[in-house]
Amino acid sequence: MRKVEEHRSLLLTAVGAALATALLLSAAQGPMGCFGERSGVSRVTAEGRPPAVLLPSPALALAGGKAAPRAVSLAGVAERALPSVVNISSTKVVRHPGARYLMPFGANPFFREFFGEQLHRFRMPKEHREKSLGSGVIVSADGVVLTNYHVVAHASKITVTTHDKREYGAKIVGKDPKSDLAVIRLQGKVSGLRPLPFGDSGKLRLGDFVLAIGNPFGVGQTVTMGIVSAKGRANVGIVDYEDFIQTDAAINPGNSGGALVDMNGRLVGINTAILSRSGGYQGIGFAIPSNMARPIMRSLLKTGKVVRGFLGVSIQDLTPALARGMGLGNVRGVLVSDVQPKSPADRAGLRRGDVIQRVNGERVRSSARLRNIIAAQGAGAKVSIALLRGGKRITLSAQLGTLKQAARLSARIRPREGALGGMEVGALSEEARRAYRIPRRIRDGVVVKKVTPFTPAAMSGLRRGDVIMQVNRRDVRSVKEFLDLYKKARHNVVLLVSRRGSTFYLVISR
């Protein structure tokens, strides 16, 4: 009897829930639209409000402004994009300058005489092969694949595996370490490839859903979902030119070079790096935006290299506090802190204290964004620069130079590049002498223009405004000469430094 009562109670509960659902649905048909009899059918109500949409598979309803929303099936987007993402296996040969003993007593003559020839088996071979796994994106039907530079850097052999398990050898067409991008081409007869169309990364908004597709940890193709959590991430310290899309879609080792796809199934980014203390996914991943990757890819396909534009200014973000201190009020833009002599900026008439607000009509609000725009224009391009000077709006025209000119005037040493990593040096110009009060008796050297905190350069004791006069007892007369001497240094680096009129030696271990 108890079981009959329990069944009756459950039946009444189910009937009540069904009636409540029916009442809610009938109420929703008025202002919010109505459900069609068939799955996926929708129509607009008399009030013109967007309807609700029902799909047979998990989906997201995306608002489309005044137009009716589009319901996007995540499974459908993934199915369209997966065939365009490939797995990349690269092999490189690492050569050692000479065999060395792995055992602590291996180099001792006594043990060498005692063991005889058997000791050779304890020696490291002169070369060994290292394998790495990554991902790539098919961007053309004839076998062009876009990936990260670090996935194929120094590779002696590259093998690409497509979604349907076909394997191809591949050759590098061009690579750009400054942006961590590379273009490779499949070898042999290729057919049936499905290139992934490019999307407009500039239209991404914070909170937009994205899919990350790649080959994490070599387990095979994997799709993860997240949102765009930030845009325009620069100064991360990964590469020279950064304008990353930040996402919380799970990205792990092996995802590098894979696709970041929007809800239209278009390529909006190349997954590149993660921010992690453990080496695994912790919720912050970075992707190179498609609007940055696409022109670099075209340049690599055309010439095998990227020729970036050079303006010749030192710039910094115009913070609200700095704007108020300079009497600029609520002005937004990028502040010019120095103009390099005989540079394109100098010839165009830019001055220290100018606030650059637009380049070719595009608004710039950060120094990283301005740097990327100028670089993307290419050498020889003419750009229109709208700026604010002394309360007046001025527009100047500049013809950009090449980064070879920049190398003669200034250079950055990235944080990972040895004992002086994280530093920027510049030529000993008249502007530098005035800015850092360098005495006339200091005739040659390079000026330390910037030292990034918590980097090897900062820990070495160098400061902004120091003049490096010698490297290992060799005089320094230009930025190029300084870089050459620094690269040739094998162990300790001995610098002769001038600081505020005093001269001293500084020893740094490489």
Q: Is 460 a catalytic residue?
A: no
User: Is the CB of residue 213 less than 8 Å from the CB of residue 85?
Assistant: yes
Question: 450-466 burial, b for 16+ CB within 10 Å, e for fewer?
Answer: ebbeebbbbebebeebb
DSSP code per residue over 406-463: HHHHEEEE-TTSGGG-SEEEEE--HHHHHHHT--TT--S-EEEEEE-TTSHHHHHT--
- The residue annotated as part of the active site, out of 89, 176, 180, 410, is 180
Q: Is 96 a catalytic residue?
A: no
SS (H, E, C) 84-109: HEEEEEEEEEEECCCCCECCCCCCCH
C-alpha–C-alpha distance, residues 137 and 256, integer Å: 11
**CA 236: distance to chain centroid?**
8
- The residue annotated as part of the active site, out of 90, 135, 256, 460, is 256
C-alpha–C-alpha distance, residues 399 and 114, integer Å: 72
The overall longest dimension of the chain from CA atoms, in Å, is 108
User: Is the CB of residue 494 less than 8 Å from the CB of residue 472?
Assistant: yes
C-alpha–C-alpha distance, residues 313 and 431, integer Å: 12
3-class SS at 300?
A: helix
- The residue annotated as part of the active site, out of 84, 150, 290, 410, is 150
Measure Cα distances from 463 to 50, 337, 419, 441, 450 in Å: 61, 18, 14, 20, 8
446: phi then psi, degrees, rounded to nearest 5: -125, 150
Q: Is 180 a catalytic residue?
A: yes
Amino acid in position 474: R
C-alpha–C-alpha distance, residues 366 and 232, integer Å: 9
DSSP code per residue over 459-495: HHT--TT-EEEEETTEE--SHHHHHHHHHH--SEEEE
**CA 298: distance to chain centroid?**
18
**CA 193: distance to chain centroid?**
27
Q: Which residues are catalytic?
A: 150, 180, 256
